[in-house]
Structure 1
Amino acid sequence: MRRLPLSLLAASLMLAIGTASAATQTTIPAAAVKTAEQLRDKAMGDNTAFDIVQSVTTEVGARLAGSPADERGREWAIAKFKALGFDKVYTEQVSYPLWQRRSEHAEIVGPFPQSLDLIALGYSAGTPKGGLTAEVVKFDSLEALKHADPASVKGKIVYVGTRMERHRDGHDYGIGSGIRVGGPVLASQMGAAGFLLRSAGTDANSRTPHTGVTGFKDPKEAIPAAALSNPDADQLERVLAYGKPVSIKLDLDCGITGMYTGANVIGEITGRKHPDQVVAIGGHLDSWDPGTGAIDDGAGVAIAMAAAKLIGELPQRPDRTIRVIAFANEEMGLWGGRAYAEKHAKDVGKFQLGTESDFGARKVWRMSASVKPEARGAIDQIAQVLAPVGVAYDAKMPGGGGSDLSQMHGKGMAALSLTQDGTDYFDYHHTANDTLDKIDPKELAQNVAVYAAFSYMAAQANGDFGSAPGAFAKDGAGE
């Protein structure tokens, strides 16, 4: 056999290696990119998502998990998926503790008697019949409570007064929600009689308190816990500043009354070539009870439904299945997301890419991704299609998949994060002001454009994005 010169052999080997490497890269065909651009542009003028969120907030209203409206919401979602032309519509059961709110009241009884506006928190215990009266002890932060002498807390009502500030990415919510979730548990462990916090919200001038879940896992360990509106928290702090003992009477009628079985509601646009491979998008169907759950998270469900509907209206079905999941009971502990991840973990390799919308209805301004290195080029292609509608790609940030789908990401699903402008989101979040008027139809349509374009491109990609068991443990997926 004739031997090749060394230089020619080296060149041949480099070409072979380069060809093999190129073959492993995930790419999106030019035709798919063009179709995604058309979907994006069509979505920008489409009103389907607004019609959907108007429908759920009007016909069902608030959808507290386990309430009669919870079942009405599921029936609404099933009917809506079918009306929008989804190929397959089904449910998957989700069981969780049934917590019910009946009434709440609070007042300062001394030294300056007056009422307070507040709302009970999820998994809070009720007070004894006739209410609970105790002295208040104030802490400026959760960290300060952690280092307090338990003797200074025992038998008292703990109040933590940390104030959230507005940010585009809403990062102060990590502080506010941390106090709301962890504070009551810590106070209970220290022997407190009850717990109050300044609402985890940014509406400084509204006497509308923000509800949300606590971290109680065992009802036997729960104590009465509630959130004060920001002005009422200010008033309490002014009273405390006099340096006299301050007593509050709490009267909360709420608590866990058993177990409840709900369901995730799922609709699919079936893939033409690879029906068992899915692009997963969605939102959570439940909401808190004071408002109508428009921005949290009727908007997310509507965005995903509308995006998939647009893809379903194309002349032919996408190569892979577009799966929209309307998750059950996200608000009180990601119950739907965790049940979904447990059920589908064995098939995580079939999940092409996924993310959930659960941060309101303002414009998406940032995209990040957790994918295999060989799929970064495809993410760049998606970013180029989304850039004209105002989405910047941050290649250094991981993608978490959103609240419920973070659980599938934790199992190894490749994921995006599509961050909406949350500057004023926490003005309304978990309050009576979470209503349809907070949604701008044009901004909502931009979200649909983003979800439709990325979902279609992921479905048409040549290659995958790296989903595999434990694939993204390095970025804390699912935490």
Structure 2
Amino acid sequence: MRLVPMLLSAAIAASFPAVAAETAGASTPATVETRIADASMAAVAGLREAALASSLAWDITESLTTEIGPRLAGSEADARAVEWARAKFTELGFDRVWTEPVTFPKWVRRGESAAVLGPNAQPLALSALGGSPGGTVEGEVVRFADLAALEAAPAGSLAGKIAFVDYRMERARDGSGYGPGSRVRSRGPSAAVRAGAAGFIMRSVGTDSHRMPHTGITRFDAGLDPVPSAALSVPDADQLARLLARGPVRMRVALDCGWDGEYTSQNVIGEITGASRPDEFVLIGAHLDSWDLGTGAVDDGAGVGITMAAAVHIAALERRPARSIRVVAFANEEQGLIGGFAYADRHAGDVARHQIVAESDFGAGRIYGFNTGAPAHAKAAEAKIAEALAPLGIERLPGEGGPGPDLIGIARKGATWAWLGQDGTDYFDLHHTPDDTLDKIDPDALAQNAAAYAVFAYLAADAEGDFGSAPTDPAPAL
């Protein structure tokens, strides 16, 4: 399945196994089997238990979400988050800490409201989609059951009207229901414009039943004049559908938002130096930004806490791994994986130094599955990592998973990915909503995640041999 990078978000890689096949580590001339020594396996037994007993992942996540809160890319809080991450890496004892600039268009939200007009007048809860222009529109609402129905609407048929796509996302442990819903968000506004609509609204891409609208990025196709575009909370989408079943509905949507120049944020990077091959590294990471409605706890403060803590647990060992552990807090994932692609471009010449890469960006549910895109000569090492992860309740699942969203860019350039699949059954109850707050995280589950990332990263960094990362030319298409 071909995916447009600007439309990807958290869990897309887990949602589309084809990404795994298309971005597997590049083939290499190596024929020697990659192995993991018994001494390495012995070292991770204590590492696993220490990480499980530690509250460090929780402490880091609590610090970020409490001291910084929402971290919309380009906002004042984005700048504070960068400084927080730099200081936190230093406080935690990382051997090297640095930043790399990431520049992007800045989108701002100032306010939003919606209401049904006429005899059934009432307010509705909605949130502007990232990338929407501001403006106030009033018009008759036309409901479409799904994206295909809207895309089939004839040009001009919605003149002066508001298009409403009422597609309901399905719940799944691996988040596979997100893909169809996110395509409504990414393609629906352009389809509405082509049909002549004055505005676009949609049922939120979420699995909850709370009056909490889910935001997220959208884009308008080149040559189209953007229109105000927003997502209704799930109960409000139900309410609007019931009203439409009774007869015509007029609605007002008022959004105060839009693009506002350019902004330069930073990828923030910390590294624990390897014992004998410090110029090679295992990369683990998460994204530092969040949407502005909640405090970005599950998306993706948890990932920041998990990966920072995993590296610290490794650094505390008496026997460090051969290679370094690099942790990247990526900038502006939410508006198009911008920090991830900036990192990939900057490090395109260093692909072979990336032993293997993994990202935590699917909340804080327990990890249940493990897989990599490694070639045949590294499969025995993959199996040993799976063996060490098994006491954490994690199963080796060949054929599943893919690179985390921010790692798609570097995977396309040939870096081998690993997938530590989290249980996302409830993730889309919270994703991109005001309900994404710290209290939704289970500290024990967070510790299990940190333990899994620590075990994986240590063994991969200490392996005798490689996992197949090598420059790809041409890069595999997504």
TM-score for the superposition, normalised by structure 1: 0.91
Q: What's 1:355 paired with?
A: 358
In structure 2, relative to structure 1, the CA distance for the partners of 1:83 and 1:218 (3 Å cut) is farther
Q: Deviations over 1:186-224 (max 9, x none)?
A: 2223322111000001112x1111111112376973211
Deviates more, 1:88-97 or 1:341-350: 341-350
Q: 2:236 aligns with which of 218, 232, 235?
A: 232
Q: What's 1:193 paired with?
A: 198
Highest Rg: 1 or 2? 1
Summarize the alignment of residues 317-336 of structure 1 with structure 2, pairs less than 5 Å apart. Answer: 317-336=320-339
Q: What's 2:315 paired with?
A: 312
Q: Answer yes or no: is the 8 Å Cα contact 1:283–1:356 preserved in 2.
A: yes
Q: Answer yes or no: is the 8 Å Cα contact 1:180–1:214 preserved in 2.
A: yes
Q: What's 2:7 paired with?
A: none
Counterpart CA distance in 2 for 1:159 and 1:396 is 37
Q: What's 1:148 paired with?
A: 153
The question of 1:416 aligning with 2:418 is answered yes
Counterpart CA distance in 1 for 2:244 and 2:454 is 53
RMSD: 1.7
Q: Answer yes or no: is the 8 Å Cα contact 1:305–1:324 preserved in 2.
A: yes
Counterpart CA distance in 2 for 1:373 and 1:154 is 57
Deviation at 1:34, TM superposition (A): 1.1
SS in 2 for 1:226: strand
Counterpart CA distance in 1 for 2:350 and 2:221 is 29
Deviation at 1:473, TM superposition (A): 6.0
Counterpart CA distance in 2 for 1:281 and 1:343 is 17
In structure 2, relative to structure 1, the CA distance for the partners of 1:239 and 1:22 (3 Å cut) is closer
Q: What's 1:338 paired with?
A: 341
The question of 1:470 aligning with 2:472 is answered yes
In structure 2, relative to structure 1, the CA distance for the partners of 1:146 and 1:220 (3 Å cut) is closer
Q: Which amino acid aligns with 2:232?
A: L
Q: Deviations over 1:50-73 (max 9, x none)?
A: 000000111111101111100000
Q: What's 2:32 paired with?
A: 24
Summarize the alignment of residues 376-415 of structure 1 with structure 2, pairs less than 5 Å apart. Answer: 376-397=379-400, 399-415=401-417
Counterpart CA distance in 2 for 1:168 and 1:274 is 38
Q: 2:292 aligns with which of 289, 293, 309?
A: 289
Q: Which amino acid aligns with 2:80?
A: R
The question of 1:278 aligning with 2:297 is answered no
Counterpart CA distance in 1 for 2:44 and 2:415 is 22
Deviates more, 1:42-51 or 1:184-193: 184-193
Q: Deviations over 1:374-415 (max 9, x none)?
A: 001100000001111111111123x42211012211111101
Counterpart CA distance in 2 for 1:144 and 1:37 is 54
Deviation at 1:113, TM superposition (A): 1.3
Summarize the alignment of residues 69-468 of structure 1 with structure 2, pairs less than 5 Å apart. Answer: 69-127=77-135, 131-204=136-209, 206-216=210-220, 221-243=225-247, 245-397=248-400, 399-468=401-470
Q: How many residues align?
A: 450
% identical aligned pairs? 54
Counterpart CA distance in 2 for 1:420 and 1:63 is 23
Counterpart CA distance in 1 for 2:319 and 2:358 is 24
Q: What's 1:4 paired with?
A: none
SS in 2 for 1:241: helix
TM-score for the superposition, normalised by structure 2: 0.91
Q: Deviations over 1:423-460 (max 9, x none)?
A: 11111110111000011110000000110000000100
Counterpart CA distance in 1 for 2:193 and 2:378 is 48
In structure 2, relative to structure 1, the CA distance for the partners of 1:472 and 1:429 (3 Å cut) is farther
Counterpart CA distance in 1 for 2:38 and 2:369 is 24
In structure 2, relative to structure 1, the CA distance for the partners of 1:234 and 1:199 (3 Å cut) is same
Structure 1: gaps spanning 5 or more residues: 1-20
Q: What's 1:16 paired with?
A: none
Q: What's 1:42 paired with?
A: 50
Deviates more, 1:118-127 or 1:157-166: 157-166
Q: Which amino acid aligns with 2:260?
A: T
Counterpart CA distance in 1 for 2:219 and 2:268 is 26
SS in 2 for 1:212: coil
